[in-house]
Amino acid sequence: MPSSTSSFDFERDVPDLPWRGLLLAVVALTVVATVGWEIRARAWGYRPALNDTPDLWADQREAVKPDSMVIIGDSRSLFDNDLDTFEQAFGKRPIQLGNIASCGYVILENLASDQSFHGTVVASLIPGLWLAPPGSPPYRAYERALKRYQNRTLAQRSGHHLGMWLKERLAFMNDDLKLKEWLAKLPIQERAAFHPHPPGPPDFQTFSRDRQVRMWDSCAKPGPLQDRVKYGWPGLFTPPPPPSYIPKEAFFAAMGKAVEQRFADTAAAVKKIQARGGKVVFVRYPMSGPLKELEDKGTPRAGPWTRILKESGAPGIYFEDYPELASFNCPEWSHLSAPDAVEFTKRLMPHLKSALAH
């Protein structure tokens, strides 16, 4: 009886080509293209360096222990704090969870919801970012980082660690050179129902694996890069006009409600941490020039800063209260240079210890 299954012999003809030579040609072209792109990237001023990614942030969030000292907030918490100086002052290295252009409340709430956490939180407070509503770019920036921390896979972890090894050696691996980033820089015309978010500044910092940030020397000195960075801040710190498809009264009423809720939620989060024996200190880091004028006008000290401290019961350190902290100049108006960050942190430590003692 014939079998119901049958086998088929299939043989594919392999062209008679000089495969070894073709392989060598492909390898040679790949090497030449890679070297050429690396040379081009370095000519543009890029150097091998880690970029800040949600995975890099997630590594540090995983390092948080119940009694850790944690730094949170916006980019000033990254640039203006020296982790070595913190470690020397407190005997333990802080966990750097600051995030560029982000709403620090998101991670404060995350730590407050972690029932095991009873450590210390040093929070940079830029009112305009801290009060950013859900769905806004500053709010989503921290949400993306938290999502990566909570959901990343083994493949994502291994890819991240391989990527770090490559980025520490190759300049063209910089995230700023990705096609996605180039496309994001294309100018999009403003329309009646669309107000494009102002582009962020170019890279002007280095990151270490524990997210110690240092400003490039080329940005700390007057020149094209410094100008590109500092003249970009006013657009980012100026709120866009209200959308035309919502009545202004309704829009401002909704925004006012969201801001009021943020005050209440911030106070609740601080008190949760305090109830477990933890501590929270808010810090207003230096800013300079026209950006300081813009921030002082839009969010004066007597406004959100004072109210958050009063309602939360947390202590605060405002740089202008202390001559030794107020004497620093931010080269690009918003952050301290690498040497100044070290010196500023040394001067900050006595005030931080005093605030934590109460």
**Interval 290-302 mean pLDDT:** 93
**Interval 310-328 mean pLDDT:** 97
Q: What are phi and psi of 198, to 5 degrees?
A: -55, 140
Cβ(229)–Cβ(204) below 8 Å: yes
Question: Strand, helix or coil at 223?
Answer: coil
Q: What is the DSSP letter of 210?
A: T
- Choose among 286, 292, 301: nearest CA to 337: 286
**Interval 176-191 mean pLDDT:** 70
Is 60 exceeded by the pLDDT of residue 4?
no
Q: What is the pLDDT of residues 336-352, one digit of tens each?
A: 999 999 999 999 999 99
In the block, tokens 């006009």 appear at 241
d(CA 17, CA 19): 6
- How deeply is 175 buried, as exposed, middle or buried, from its count of CB atoms within 10 A (0-12, 13-18, 19+)? middle
Reading across the β-sheet that carries 69-72, which strands appear in turn? 95-96, 69-72, 120-124, 279-284, 316-318
Out of 1.10.12, 3.40.1350, 1.10.1760, 3.40.50, which CATH number does the structure's domain 54-186+203-357 have?
3.40.50
In the block, tokens 């806004």 appear at 136
- Residue 2 binned pLDDT confidence (cut-offs 50, 70, 90): low
Identify the bridge partners of residue 194 per DSSP, sorted by sequence position: 191
* Chain Cα centroid distance, residue 121: 17
Alpha-carbon separation of residue 271 from 9, 113, 303, 313, 357 (angstroms)? 75, 11, 21, 8, 17
**Interval 105-128 mean pLDDT:** 97
Looking at residue 200, what is its pLDDT? 63
d(CA 199, CA 185): 7
- Residue 191 binned pLDDT confidence (cut-offs 50, 70, 90): low
- Residue 194 binned pLDDT confidence (cut-offs 50, 70, 90): low
Looking at residue 189, what is its pLDDT? 67
88 CB neighbour count, 10 Å cutoff: 13
Identify the bridge partners of residue 213 per DSSP, sorted by sequence position: 207
Structural domain boundaries in the chain: 16-45, 54-186+203-357
d(CA 253, CA 257): 6
Q: What is the pLDDT of residues 39-96, one digit of tens each?
A: 998 888 788 888 889 999 999 999 999 999 999 999 999 999 999 999 999 999 999 9
Which two three-digit tokens encode residue 349? 């430590």
Looking at residue 196, what is its pLDDT? 59
Looking at residue 32, what is its pLDDT? 95
**Interval 223-233 mean pLDDT:** 87
Alpha-carbon separation of residue 72 from 33, 105, 278 (angstroms)? 41, 9, 15
- How deeply is 206 buried, as exposed, middle or buried, from its count of CB atoms within 10 A (0-12, 13-18, 19+)? middle
Q: What is the pLDDT of residues 248-280, one digit of tens each?
A: 777 777 778 889 999 999 999 999 999 999 999
Cβ(316)–Cβ(258) below 8 Å: no
Question: Strand, helix or coil at 217?
Answer: helix
18 CB neighbour count, 10 Å cutoff: 9
Would you say the pTM of this structure is higher than 0.75?
A: yes
d(CA 78, CA 98): 6
- Mean pLDDT of the chain, nearest integer: 89
Q: Which amino acid is at 87?
A: E
Looking at residue 98, what is its pLDDT? 96
